[in-house]
């Protein structure tokens, strides 16, 4: 049991697709109710995008709502690099992660509704991860980034990803082969490189050229701690990482 949740005051609201748990310190936030309504409405849209459908009777019988914890920012017990920051009570912060207890999203001194894209990012992690499990961070974050952008109301988000690819890959700061390893991915992130954008480009390219079914197969062949993702890319797409890097660069140039 997550003891962090066990002794705290939470209000629970059951939606069609999520069970929302609102901590007492966010109940007064004026737009949090609208934010959770929108999150519940996004679930079938994301499921359709990811081809995750409770279509059969047996699948509907097995369906269980995902927990969605909304609170002020906090440090997870095993925080990845992306979540490590100082919890300054005066700062404007947003923070999200997914673990076995569900989706967690923390907001401080910001509007919940302005963070729709970030919430969508975590929802993709939860929905996709429940279907195929995890993969090295290049793929995990790439899926979340790409579908966050597909559903975003903001314009030119794909161009942001292409700019990230140029600044990290075309500049020679990193290679695709290196970023296939999770420890290298997070080290590059800690150095300020736009690896989330690079990951989004990789997924966008694989989806646009080979489709979701093959990407699903790739996820099923790998796992979070897999140090041989480059080999799995070769097995699934019949090209080594350095060749894929060239092909993705050509694709980036074609869409910008």
pLDDT digits (tens, 9 = 90+) for 144-160: 999 999 999 888 899 99
Q: What is the pLDDT of residue 55?
A: 63
Which of these three, 82, 107, 132, is where a domain ends?
132
Spell out where the chain has E strands. Answer: 10-14, 18-23, 66-71, 93-99, 102-108
Q: What is the pLDDT of residue 90?
A: 84
- Residue numbers of the chain with a pLDDT score lower than 70: 1-8, 54-55, 59, 75-87
CA–CA gap between residue 194 and residue 206 (Å, rounded): 19
Q: Are 151 and 45 in contact (CB under 8 A)?
A: yes
Same domain, 116 and 150: no
Which of these three, 114, 132, 150, is where a domain ends?
132
Q: What is the pLDDT of residue 144?
A: 98
Same domain, 148 and 44: no
User: What pTM was computed for the model?
Assistant: 0.90
- Residues of 131-162 as b/e, b for ≥16 C-beta within 10 angstroms? ebebbbbbbbbbbbbbbbbbbeeeeebbeebb
Q: Number of structural domains, the chain?
A: 2
Show the domain range for 56: 3-132
Q: What is the pLDDT of residue 57?
A: 75
């Amino acid at each position: 049991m997550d003891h962090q949740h066990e002794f705290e005051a939470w209000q629970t609201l059951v939606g069609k697709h999520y069970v929302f748990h609102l901590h007492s310190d966010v109940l007064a936030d004026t737009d949090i109710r609208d934010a959770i309504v929108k999150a519940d409405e996004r679930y079938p849209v994301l499921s359709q995008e990811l081809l995750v459908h409770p279509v059969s009777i047996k699948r509907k019988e097995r369906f269980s709502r995902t927990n969605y914890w909304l609170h002020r920012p906090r440090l997870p017990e095993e925080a990845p690099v992306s979540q490590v920051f100082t919890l300054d009570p005066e700062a404007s912060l947003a923070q999200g992660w997914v673990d076995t207890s569900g989706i967690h999203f923390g907001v401080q001194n910001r509007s919940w509704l302005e963070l729709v894209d970030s919430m969508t990012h975590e929802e993709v992690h939860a929905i996709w991860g429940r279907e195929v499990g995890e993969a090295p961070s290049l793929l995990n974050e790439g899926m979340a980034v790409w579908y966050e952008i597909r559903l975003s109301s903001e314009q030119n988000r794909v161009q942001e990803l292409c700019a990230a690819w140029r600044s990290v890959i075309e500049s020679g700061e990193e290679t695709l082969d290196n970023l296939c390893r999770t420890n290298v991915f997070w080290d590059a992130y800690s150095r300020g490189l736009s690896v989330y954008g690079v990951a989004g480009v990789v997924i966008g390219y694989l989806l646009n050229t080979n489709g979701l079914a093959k990407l699903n197969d790739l996820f099923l062949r790998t796992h979070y701690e897999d140090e041989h993702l480059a080999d799995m890319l070769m097995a699934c797409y019949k090209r080594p990482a350095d060749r894929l890097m060239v092909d993705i660069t050509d694709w980036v140039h074609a869409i910008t």
